[in-house]
Structure 1
Amino acid sequence: MDILNGFLSDVLKEVVCGAVNQLQYSFCFNSFVKELEKEKENLIETKISVKDRVIHAQRQTLKTAEVIDKWLENANTSSESVNRLLRETNTKKSCFFEFCPNWIWRYRLGKKLAIKKADLQKIIQEGRQYIQLERIASIPSNTFDILTEKSINFDSRKNAFDQLVKALKDDGIAMIGLYGMGGCGKTTLAMEVKKIAEAEHLFDKVVFVPVSSTVEVPRIQEKLASSLQYQFPENQEMERAQRLCMRLTQENKILMILDDVWEKLDFGSIGIPSSEYRKGCKILITTRLEEVCNSMDCQKNIYLPILTDEESWTLFQNKALISKDTPENIKHLAKSISNECKGLPVAIVAVASSLKGKKEVIWHSALNKLRSSKPINISRGLQDPYMCLKLSFDNLDTEEAKSLFLLCSVFPEDYEISVECLIRCAIGLGVTGEVHSYEEARTEVIAAKIKLVSSCLMLEVNDECVKMHDLVRDVAHWIAKNENKMIKCEVEKDVSLEEGPIRYLWCVKFPDSMDCSNLEFLSIQTNLEVSDGIFERMGKLRVLIITNKSIPTQLLTMSFKSLINVRCLVLQYWKLRDISFVRDMKKLQSLSFHNCSWPSFLDLQTDVAVTTLTNLKLLEFISCDIESNIFEEIKRIPFLEEFYIYKDNNYWNDPKEESVKFSNSFSVSQMLQRYGIVLGYSSFRNSYRFQEFCSCERTLVMNYFDISNEVIKGLAKKAKELSVGNIEGGAKNMMPDIFKIEEGMNELKELKMHNCEEIECLIDNSSNLSKMGNIFSKLRYMEIFNINHLKTLWHGCPRVNGCFEKMEELYIRDCPQLISLFTYVIAPTNDKTKKSEDQFTHGHLMPSKIFQNLQKMELFNCGELRHVFSASITGSLTQLKILTIEECNMLEQIFEDALPPTHHEETNEIVEEDVQSSSGTFSILHIS
């Protein structure tokens, strides 16, 4: 019986437990719903983790196992099934008029929930084995801020920064270049841009890769891969490039910052996709060389300048911990030292940091060393900037640029170096090697200058001058000393003697005891007499510049005969007895006299010596007072390529006489490539003023012009700047009476004419309308004044295109018979309409491009002028901004109508009305 009771008890328990288990689907329904929702969340988290692993594998260019893909597929199916079940639980099921739950529905659905929960747990457990539990953590974007000090925002940086951010946001710009001299803060600014790009989510990914002067492709590949949390499975460079390219193309928007680029990078060898496949990618490069930006096809080049004085002082105080509590004497020293750093951040930071907390005596020592232009080592204070700038020098890819860099450093601090002077000195020093063609050598020096400017080792002041940053100049002296080529510049005191031979010297007084056996460049800027004996010891001297800075005094030249290696000689503000010493300078290439005087150029008894100057390529006279006729002797120099003479009317009474002397004596050598001949410039409205050295290409300025002289006509025909007055010889026009109309003077860029009584027009092709070649096609500036019989600029039929197209400025003054800028000749049709060839007639052409670049025009005292522009020209005046008309009393219209204008009594009203009804392009209109 007990056995039966026990059996029944166990059966009853199972029945009861089974019943209870079955009943829980109904009574614990809500619990099943919550548990399934929890497992659903677990599944979602697991799916995300597995997907992350798949993405990570893809970024590593790895292929995941098929079982993982199958699991993700099952997980997605289960998620959908769970979502359906949970949506069904939200459907309310009840009976007995909504007063009682539907227990049968709850039972069935609860059972499904329990089963699905168990299924999810199995799926989740399986998925967790596909999760990579340990992975290298990505570097937070703010880590750089933790490692480095906050940069100070300066106005001089703001402009470059704003340009960078704007370029980053411009979808049309894919390549950006940031350039500036070494140590000016390019890397710091690039990092600031990186932070902004990340903070504003401009890109999905921003990577920063240092490149440096030596391009190591494997290292760059590793840096890029590391930034992308990617590891290469291969070791071969080309295979890595392909892998990296696969990885980069996965990013929708990525910014790559390539820092410190020195040469054009081969993106293909690195693995950076070509521009065709780089649609979501921007690249920012930082470099010291503007030419790198250009060679890499940067669509936006941004220059980063050095700091202003105020910004330099702010940065210096920050780095040296200068505060209001700092002693005044230290502050004073700190301010002076800051000024010596000349705005270069790397120098400011290095020096200021090294002086922080030091005693006053250390500050004094630092200032003295900086002022003495000697490389210093204040706790290694200048090691970084010096090595930084030397690296720029080392990476110059031509010896010409390196030699020119050292030459520039001989000029004083902040000296604005004439480019022309630099060219002549560089050629004289052999920077371009042996000179066969002076023009070719000139081109090589200019190319080297451009390279230095683009490398930020030289600063352009304007088109004619350059200068060196003081710290760059000090580094050049340091480099020269290390190469045993000492460079010295003393502008206030005697030259101090130092160990080692001096190669380049700029001084105010030359010490007699100096070793000058290796001296190649010497510039003496003195107020004292120059000792004649010092030149006897200068056997290697190639460039000599002697400038008298006081009242012109006598220069002794006896020992000049020993300067047999001199290539470039410049004498300024001296009285000379003679200059026959040049006959011994067989290697002389350029000879310049500025504000000098002497009785004769060369003794006529030394004609043979003159003809032996076979290496003389350049001869220059600037404002020299010469008693004899120099032109007769100059033409004896056999291979002259460049000739410059500049004489003011103050030096003689009769400009016609001087011009006749020149015209009759001077002959044009077939070798002559450049010339600047200015005889009587002061008659012209815009006076010609040459700087220390003449740098014009082909300029002819003469107050008297005889058209019968073929030498003068030949020079004028080739000129790029031509100014002539008092034309004699019966010419009614420039073309064809003086110059052939078919030749067109198409090299001419600037033309000035005055006091030419017989001239009636510039061009007249009325007698042969078939001669329609381009004329004055490069002319940009024209000034005509005081030509009493001028009636028009062009009589005949100018071409629709090619004539006056480049003209930007036009000035016509005191031409009382001017009736129109252009008078057109219409071909005769019958006897009634036939005109004589001498009569000026008005006609109309089709719309032309004449004056299409004209920006400024002035008309003064042209009493017969009725209208300014003909109807055919009006449409081309899109660039005209300033039009000034004064004392043109007969003016009826600015723009001529196609039909003859009706009479108006008030001229000014007509002018204003025409202006408003025309193109409306004027920004300034003045009529009186």
Structure 2
Amino acid sequence: MDVVGSLASILSCLFSQNSLQQSLERQCRHLRKPRKNLNKLKDLVEQLDARKSDVNTKLDQMWLGKGMNPREEVKLWIKSVDRVKIQVSSLTENNNGCSFNFVCSRIKFGEVVEEKISEVKELLDKGQFLDDSVAENLPKVGYTLPASPLMECATTLKSLTRILECLSRESVKRIGVYGMGGVGKTTIMTEINNRLLEGRDFDLVMWVSAPKGPSLAKLQKGIGEKLDLDLSMIDDDVTRAAKLFEALNRRRKYALILDDLWEPFSLETVGIPIPTVENGCKLVITTRLLSVCRGMETDEDVEVKALQDDEAWDLLRYKVGPVVSNSAEVEVIAKEVTRECGGLPLAIVTVGRALRNAADVSEWECALDELRASTANIERMEEAVFAHLRFSYAKLKDDTSRSCFLFCALYPESHQIDTNELMEYWMWEGLLGYVGRMAAIKRRGKMILNELKHACLLEGLTQNAVEFVRMHDLIRDMAITIMRTSPHCISKAGTRMTKHQWMEEWAEDVQRVSLMRNDLKYIPFNYNLMCPRLTSLLLQFNSFSENISHEFFENMQFLKVLDLSYTGIDFLPNSVSNLENLSALLLSNCWNLSTVPSLAKLNKLMVLDLSCSPRMKELPNGMQNLGNLRRLNLSKTGIEIFPFGLISKYTLLEDLLIGGCGSLWGSMTVKAISGGASIEEVISSNLSSLELDLWNTDVFDQYAKSDHWVQLDKFRITIGQPQVQFCEERSLAFSGRFVLRGNPVSLPPNTLELHLDDCADIKNLSMCLVNVTQLKSCKIRWCDDIVCIIESEEEENTLSMLERMELLVLGNLKMICRDVVRPGTLMSLKSITVEYCPKLKTLFSGQILLQLKNLEEISVRSCTGMEYVMQEEEGDFMGGNNFGIEFPKLKRMKLKFMPLLMSIYDGTIICPSLRSLEIASCEALKRLPLDPLTTPALEEIKATRTWWNSLEWDQPDFKNALQPFLIEIRLTSTSDR
């Protein structure tokens, strides 16, 4: 018997208790052959590792074949196997080469080995999974979608950042993402989808492509598919909605992305639980129509804009390949091709793929010609781009909206179209109907204009309080393509045309022709055009140094709009006299025009504009027959006689513009002189707008308080001698709607616009506004005596209706408002422009800051003494410098050429609508009062890189957050100050 056996016998004799005996037997067992047990453990671990490998193989097969995920039990088993393997490996390494000479060590090691053997056997038993029990179809959070290189563009990143910021705010439950077709909305939302999946903030992320038509069933089934819910066998909308509602509620917190939505719908009708702060759900829609966002009751809307030039170029190079950089000749043409794509990613990608690795210059030249000619025969251009854009056109409300849209393509490429002029063209052509006064008709036009902008077919912009729209180049190309067939229109506007080849394209079915803004010098006399369906002929801004033949208009009997403004014609052809359907005859700024034929047959004429044609000395014959005339503009012509009783015949006349008409009114008093019209006749007519000159202030004094003024929406009257010596008399001019020359007088209560030019004896604006309560626009220029606009709280007029204010070249202006202001002061102000006011140190200060809740635009320029844009006064109501002040509607701020400007505001400005900030040559300004979280709509910060890098920040991360919005500008000179 060995030593171990003897020891066990002795110990068993000494201890009689069973428990002690069993313990001793177990310990003695561990002392015998420890290496044998260790080898057994290693063998079992190898079996366990092999079983794990088999399970993983099954899991891979289930995922690849059926998209099934591991069950939680399997995940836990694999985790336990990995843990045991590590422990056994450690156990083996720590005892490698041990002689096991010490009894206690051998006993302890044997116990651990036995425990691990038991644990491995248990895992082997548990790991005998059946094939169908390894994995299961768990509800997916969502699907990762392929990304695009477009996401590297700064313009796209701005939109992406804005959407993510909206998603992070609890108060924002529904988000609208809109923009023209092909601009990249889907690409951005693809990235959003992937980021939401990575963040794991939602139980379910669903991407659903919305049906093209208003199909409730298709939309419900599309959402159901993302939930693995088969609704195909359910015919009832209500039942499908109930099933969807139940399934979505089970998944609780969802994010639903609806791509390319064309019609708004009710969430309840579809079966979508309404997103709330409590449930944390989010709805994001992409659409081309802002009206859809509004119909979906979105909390925030994000417009996706076209790429900047450098971004578009980078994208084209990526798609075309290195061939662009390898040839200088190709690169030059490729950049022109990129510009023709107008920053539209879909067009750039399509063109780039068609010209991939194209090294032949002729291929690029051909593509450029196609783009410029609006034919787009480039491979897949029609299918991928124009068809995409044409769907937006087809979805417009009706044929009237479509006709109004196509009319915009008659303007030159990239032209800024004055919206008032555009709506008047629509009006004269009859697209808006003829019923009602012109203001009511224009309101209908305004609705259509908004529809076109909301459909992203037109881009809206404002400059100097004038509204414009612009048509994207490719949208214009699409419109011109449509107009080649029906309605057949010819648009050669702004093409630098000098000859008459364009006439070869005319056909009998042509409806509109635009040759505006070219350099046409003449129209051949031998052309006898047959255009019985022609409604608009736009020839303005051409020299026409040779006259048009008298027969040219003979076969245009249906013509409604003829525009020859800004041309050099000497006379109007006699054939115009037979255009009996003509609605608008526009001859403004025809510098050589002296003769207009008889208008007696033009009894449908609604507007006659001869303004700024100084060689016109007499009214055309037949003026008494123009019973439908709505507007007569003879301003700044040489016409001196206006027959008595003529205005009375124009019962529909609304606008009479006869200011600066030679000596039209002569030294007229209240009564008519030499058979001419009287001021009584003018003021007694049913006008909406009036512009005239009077040389006798007594006439105005007699009628200034007359009830006749009340009916006028717009009026401009000049009183006093038009020729005055500056040293003898300074002019007090209320122009644009009202003009005075002489001493200040009380203006009519319904004065809407006021211009003060070069005025003496005016200390503040309220001197002229005692009775004026509806003033909306005010422009003050060269009035050196003005020190303050609103003097004190005693002033009766608070200018509460004023929307636009321009203060220009006021050498002594020191403040906008003095002392304490009355409630309501400037409460409607939307836009303020201040330039060349050297003594103005602060734009707004004190209590007036709380009144400016409607302010949308601030522009301050070359005010060399300005130190603060906004400033609290000592002991003011707003407290310390860290206090935030809110301007909820402020969209744009421009500050330029002010070397002493130290601060915009000492605290934080909360501007949720701010889109654009431009700062140039303001070297002393070292801080932006912006918090990225309070400026969610920000799109651009225009500034020099040097100034940007010199800024000091309230928070270190503010600069990083605002950096993507920086658009670097370069100041080449100060000549534009």
Normalising to structure 2: TM-score of the pair?
Answer: 0.63
Q: Deviations over 1:334-353 (max 9, x none)?
A: 33322222222222222222
Partner in structure 1 of residue 504 of structure 2: 497
Q: Secondary structure at the match of 2:599?
A: helix
Residue type of the partner of 1:714?
H
Specify the alignment match of 1:909 in structure 2: none
- Supply the distance in 1 between the matched residues of 2:825 and 2:385 (Cα, whole angstroms): 55
Deviation at 1:438, TM superposition (A): 2.2
Structure-1 residue corresponding to 2:549: 531
C-alpha distance in 1 between matches for 2:370 and 2:833: 54
Which of 754, 772, 776 is residue 773 of structure 2 equivalent to?
776
| Structure 2 counterpart of 1:595, from 607, 612, 615 | 612
Deviation string 1:300-349 (CA, Å, 9 cap, x unpaired) is: 22222222222222222222224367444433333332222222222222
Match of 2:570 in 1: 553
Which residue in the other structure is 2:472 paired with?
469
Q: Distance in 2 between matches of 1:355 and 1:720?
A: 56
Residue pair 1:721, 1:751 contacting (<8 A) in 2 also: no
Helix, strand or coil at the partner of 2:415? coil
Q: Distance in 2 between matches of 1:577 and 1:668?
A: 29
Larger radius of gyration, structure 1 or 2?
1
Partner of 1:163: 162
Identical residues among aligned pairs (%): 21
Q: Which amino acid aligns with 2:398?
A: T
Q: Could you say which residue in structure 2 is the equivalent of 1:715?
A: 709
Question: Match for residue 312 of structure 2?
Answer: 312
The code of the aligned residue for 1:474 comes to D
Aligned-partner residue type, residue 371 of structure 2: L
What displacement does 1:198 show?
2.9
1:569 to 553, 577, 585: 585
Maintained 8 Å contact 2:244/2:272? yes
Which residue number corresponds to residue 144 of structure 1? Answer: 146
Change (3 A) 1:340 1:198: same
Indicate if the aligned counterparts of 2:322 and 2:357 stay in contact, CA closer than 8 A. no
Q: Is the 8 A contact 1:749 1:778 kept in 2?
A: yes
Mark the CA change 1:262 to 1:336 in structure 2 (over 3 Å): closer, same or farther: same
State the one-letter code of the partner of 2:167: L
- Is the 8 Å Cα contact of residues 653 and 686 (structure 2) preserved in structure 1? yes
Contact kept in structure 1, 2:419 and 2:467, CA below 8 Å = yes
The yes-or-no answer on 1:642 pairing with 2:655 is yes
- Deviations for 1:845-895, whole angstroms, at most 9, x for unmatched residues? 997554667889999999xxxxx9xxxx97556569999999xxxxxxx99
Q: Deviations over 1:804-845 (max 9, x none)?
A: 8879678998999xxx999xxxxxxxxxxxxxxxxxxxxx99
Partner of 1:618: 631
Per the alignment, do residues 132 and 588 of structure 1 end up closer, same or farther by CA in structure 2, a change over 3 Å counting?
farther
Deviation digits for residues 658-689 of structure 1, max 9, x if unmatched?
Answer: 9998872542466433x152649xxxxxxxxx
Which secondary structure does the structure 2 equivalent of 1:481 belong to?
Answer: coil
C-alpha distance in 1, partners of 2:491/2:669? 44
Deviations 1:555-596 (A, max 9, x none): 33x211210111111013155555462221111122222322
Task: Determine if the alignment matches structure 1 residue 387 to structure 2 residue 404.
Answer: no
2:213 counterpart letter in structure 1 = T
Structure 2 matches for 1:883-922, cutoff 5 A?
Answer: none
In 1: Cα distance, 2:788 partner to 2:363 partner: 78
Matched residue, 2:691: 677
Does the 8 Å contact 1:160/1:304 carry over to 2? Answer: yes
Q: Tell me by how many angstroms 1:365 deviates.
A: 2.8
The alpha-carbon distance between structure 1 residues 667 and 788, as it changes in their structure 2 partners (threshold 3 A), is: same
Shift of 1:449: 1.3
CA distance in 2, matches of 1:786, 1:336: 48
Structure 2 counterpart SS, 1:209: strand
Q: Are 2:368 and 1:364 equivalent residues in the alignment? A: no
Within the candidate set 482, 485, 495, 1:482 is matched to 485
Q: 1:42-71 CA deviation, whole Å, 9 max, x = no partner?
A: 99x99xx9xxx9xxxxx9xxxxxxxx9xx9
Q: State whether residues 179 and 289 of structure 1, in contact with CA within 8 Å, keep that contact through their aligned partners in structure 2.
A: yes
C-alpha distance 562-589 of structure 1, shift in aligned 2 (>3 A): same
CA distance in 2, matches of 1:424, 1:352: 41
Deviation at 1:360, TM superposition (A): 4.3
User: Structure 1 27/310 Cα, relative in aligned 2: closer, same or farther at 3 Å?
Assistant: same
Q: How far apart are residue 780 of structure 1 and its match?
A: 5.8
Structure 2 SS opposite 1:184: coil
Q: Name 1:889's counterpart in structure 2.
A: none
Structure 2: how far apart are the matches of 1:317 and 1:186?
A: 21
Q: Secondary structure at the match of 2:410?
A: coil
Supply the distance in 1 between the matched residues of 2:492 and 2:371 (Cα, whole angstroms).
15
> C-alpha displacement at 1:426, in angstroms?
0.8
Letter in 2 for 1:505: V
Question: Match for 1:340: what amino acid?
Answer: E
Determine if the alignment matches structure 1 residue 280 to structure 2 residue 280.
Answer: yes
Give the match's secondary structure for 1:547: coil
**TM-score of the two chains, using structure 1 as the length reference:** 0.66
Letter in 1 for 2:586: V
What code does the residue aligned with 1:257 have? I
Q: Specify the alignment match of 2:533 in structure 1.
A: 518
Distance, in Å, in 2 between the alignment partners of 1:663 and 1:762 is 32
1:580/1:861 CA distance change after superposition, 3 Å: same
Taking the TM superposition and a 5 Å limit, the aligned residue runs for 1:105-504 are 131=133, 135=137, 142=144, 144-145=146-147, 150-151=149-150, 153-232=152-231, 235-236=234-235, 237-276=237-276, 279-323=279-323, 326-358=326-358, 359-373=360-374, 375-462=375-462, 463-489=466-492, 491=495, 492=497, 493-494=499-500, 495-498=502-505, 501-504=509-512
User: Could you tell me whether the CA contact under 8 Å between 2:257 and 2:283 is conserved in 1?
Assistant: yes
Determine the C-alpha separation between the residues in 2 that align with 1:160 and 1:422: 31
Distance in 1 of aligned mates of 2:821 and 2:145: 70
Give, in angstroms, the shift of residue 707 of structure 1: 1.6
Structure 2 counterpart of 1:626, one-letter code? I
Report the Cα distance in structure 1 between the residues aligned to 2:146 and 2:270, rounded to whole angstroms: 25
Q: What's the secondary structure of 1:582's corresponding residue?
A: coil
Unaligned runs of at least 5 residues, structure 1: 1-18, 54-58, 60-67, 80-97, 681-700, 740-744, 766-772, 823-843, 863-867, 887-893, 898-918
Contact 2:210–2:259 (8 Å) recurs in 1: yes
The alpha carbon displacement at 1:99 in A equals 8.9
Residues in 2 aligned to 1:430 and 1:564: alpha-carbon distance in whole angstroms? 15
Segment drifting more, 188-197 vs 788-797? 788-797
Q: Deviation of residue 759 (structure 1)?
A: 12
Q: Distance in 1 between matches of 2:385 and 2:771?
A: 56
Query: In 2, distance between residues paired with 1:308 and 1:861?
Result: 36
Deviations along 1:254-313, one digit per CA (max 9) or x if unpaired, are 322211112213322322212348732222221112222222222222222222222222
Amino acid at match of 2:146: F
2:583 corresponds to 1:582: no
The 3 A distance-change label for structure 1 pair 721 and 568 is: closer
- Relative to 1, partners in 2 of residues 1:283 and 1:659: Cα closer, same or farther, differing over 3 Å? farther
Q: Which runs of 5+ in 2 are unaligned?
A: 1-20, 63-67, 81-101, 721-731, 733-738, 853-857, 865-871, 876-904, 910-918, 923-977
- Secondary structure (helix, strand or coil) at the match of 1:294 reads helix
More moved, 633-642 vs 515-524: 633-642
- Number of residue pairs matched by the alignment: 761
Deviations 1:583-624 (A, max 9, x none): 211111222223223232255xx5xx62x4332222223432
Map 1:693-708 → 2, pairs under 5 A: 706-708=700-702
The question of whether the paired residues in 2 share the 8 Å contact of 1:291 and 1:454 is answered with: yes
Bigger mean CA deviation after superposition, 748-757 or 506-515: 748-757
